[in-house]
Structure 1
Amino acid sequence: MAVEFASPPGNAHEIALTGFQNLARFTQRSHREGEYGMQALPETDVTLSAPRPVHHLGLLQIVAHESIRNSAATGWQYLVLTEDGAVASSELSIGTDERPPVLEQVNMGPFVQSTASALEGLDDIPDVQSGRYELHTLKIPALGAFLLWLRQLDGNADLFIVLSPAPNFLQAGRIYREDELLDALEGPARKRLEFDDSPRGRTEK
């Protein structure tokens, strides 16, 4: 069975594409004017692929071994493709009061290529061949970890693929099951909480 993709809300696809195209115009203009702070991006002949919900996992959830399915959904992410392959990701944030999604960021860093590579290999995973999974993105910003999340639709045996570059306590490209992932994250999460000096109660870790 192939990996399935969730349906983004409303005009999310249009917002994500327009946001990328606006950035592409800026980078092209910068290069024409002799400024080279960012790579020039194509404005046309681009498509959006692999729409997926984005979730953030907090440190307190990790140390409590809370189900990752309880992690907060914060937005939607697309891979931006040209005929030469992936060039960026376009990410939207979503509100909690049914506001329309807004552009959060366009990313051109190394996670783009590692995401594209991971997507190409999804159908070769034995569990995916025999089950039904929906693609999500899992972010753990406090630990610098970003993963593709294969959420099982006909069960609870979710799979998580670590994207590169990965922190030293995770193996890039490896497929983790939930208990394995939480075990690997628990020590670094406890250490991060131990040395966290931010005011308590202001933000959820």
Structure 2
Amino acid sequence: MKRFLASAMPVDDRPALARSLMALPSPHLRLAAPHPVFNLDATCVAPDGDVEACQMTAWRYVVLTGSNVVASVGFAASSRDELPRHPYIGGQRMAVAVVAAIGLAERSRYARKGQFVLASIRLPALQASAIWLREIDGNRKQDLFVPIIRTSTGFAAGRALDCGRWMQDLNDSKKRLARGS
């Protein structure tokens, strides 16, 4: 968690949260753990599915006051070079879950083996999202996924998965959803 939260910079449909963020003195408010957010279409989910078929859709930051997690904030963007637009604020529950998933990813044995870039990936059709440590050399088999929250489709959180296992879990959730169970 320390590695990814180290990078910080100063700064809805939830007016109360937005007002409380704006009420904080700006020196106490900072954005940390910047990472791109990718969306993966459910049609790409299969045991041997290609995670590279995803599209970048946003940048997400964790909002901190001191060491306390307050919220997450994101900005729509389709590339690393595009200027952010359409800001959104996520609640504290989701931000705390993102921070917990980042911490779990950093402590995993997979993360200690290679050089990774922090990202997250979501599958709107399955209501699934995960922190994604992307291997710098592009070897997706070395990538690590940590689901952020448990979903109604049976996608469990709180464990680090390699790419094959993550795609298998998504495929199982997709089958359960198709059966209506």
Identity of aligned residues (%): 21
Aligned counterpart, 1:59: 42
Aligned CA distance change for structure 1 residues 111 and 26 (closer, same or farther; 3 Å): closer
1:27 to 19, 22, 35: 19
Q: Which consecutive unaligned segments of at least 5 residues does structure 2 have?
A: none
Q: CA offset at residue 170 of structure 1?
A: 2.6
1:193 Cα shift? 5.9
Partners of 1:168 and 1:51 in 2: CA distance = 28
- 1:174 to 2:159 alignment: yes
* Distance in 2 of aligned mates of 1:85 and 1:121: 18
**Corresponding position: 1:47 with 2:65:** no
Please tell me whether the aligned partners of residues 105 and 160 of structure 2 are also in contact (alpha carbons under 8 angstroms): no
- Contact 1:135-1:151 within 8 A present in 2 as well: yes
Does structure 1 retain, via aligned residues, the 8 Å contact 2:146–2:159?
yes
Q: How far did residue 94 of structure 1 move?
A: 1.2
Q: Is 1:162–1:175's contact at 8 Å kept on the other side of the alignment?
A: yes
Query: 144, 147, 152: which is aligned to 1:162?
Result: 147
In structure 1, runs of 5+ residues without a counterpart are 8-12, 29-38, 196-205
Q: Offset of 1:118 from its aligned partner? A: 2.5
Hey, what does 1:202 align to over in structure 2? Answer: none
Decide whether the 8 Å contact of 1:24 with 1:41 is kept in 2.
no
Number of residue pairs aligned between Structure 1 and Structure 2 = 172
Q: Partner letter of residue 116 of structure 1? A: V
Give the aligned partner of residue 137 of structure 1: 120
Correspondence for 2:98 among 105, 115, 119: 115
**TM-score, scaled to structure 2:** 0.77
Q: Secondary structure at the match of 1:106?
A: strand
Matching of residue 102 in structure 1 with residue 85 in structure 2: yes
TM-score, normalised to structure 1's length? Answer: 0.69
